[in-house]
Amino acid sequence: RLFNATTNEFIGSDEYNDIGIAPNKTFIVAKFGRAGVVDETGKSLIPAIFNNISFANGFYITELNNQRGLFDGEGKKIFDPEYSSITVEKDSLIILSQESDTSRYQANKLYAYPDGFLFSNNKGSISICDPNTFIIQEGNLCRLVDRTKTQLASPYTQIFKSINNLFERSEEHTS
């Protein structure tokens, strides 16, 4: 059970097999092999129904049957567990990947919290250069774009981000 060391009282009536400390006075708890999140009063923020829960850059990534979902830091559900991977970058930029049943490619989406989806790419990848610049790769073609989806340069076969935020390009695509 959760215990408040200041008041010397147990919090809530639930007993857990495991309790881990998370940010913002929350706890990742496990009960009968299922993970959830509770606050400092013992109130459930995320129900204990998941196989695993981790915390990254202000968000809880949940896992249920090898699929990932996402909750914000206050326990509000953003995505159901339907993605093969979720990567939370700084500045609340989130890359969601979903394996395709029909090809070897992954469908990738870029989501900015709380603004909504910025990009969806069904045949390639999305890379974050900085909070406002992204590389969209489809097949052998790369595009450098900004948050408004404006293309910043001609398509290239490769685009690399250097340490000083300048971009190196090679083999300009001419069609």
Residue 5 has a pLDDT of 64
CA distance 55 to 70: 10
Instruction: Give the position of tokens 């606050």.
Output: 39
Helix (H/G/I), strand (E/B), else coil: 148: coil
Question: DSSP string spanning 61-108?
Answer: EEEETTEEEEEETTS-EEEEEEESEEEE-GGGEEEEEEE-SSSS-EEE
If one compares 125 and 48, the residue with the highest pLDDT of the two is 48
CA distance 2 to 20: 10
Residues 104, 110 contacting (CB under 8 angstroms): no
Whole-structure pTM value: 0.74
Count CA atoms closer than 13 A to 150's CA, side-chain side. 5
Confidence of residue 103 (pLDDT cuts 50, 70, 90): very low
Strand order in the sheet with 106-112: 85-88, 93-99, 106-112, 116-121
If one compares 160 and 29, the residue with the highest pLDDT of the two is 29
Residue 134 has a pLDDT of 82
If one compares 29 and 119, the residue with the highest pLDDT of the two is 29
| Residue closest to 142 by CA, chosen among 129, 91, 131 | 129
If one compares 126 and 161, the residue with the highest pLDDT of the two is 126
Helix (H/G/I), strand (E/B), else coil: 4: strand
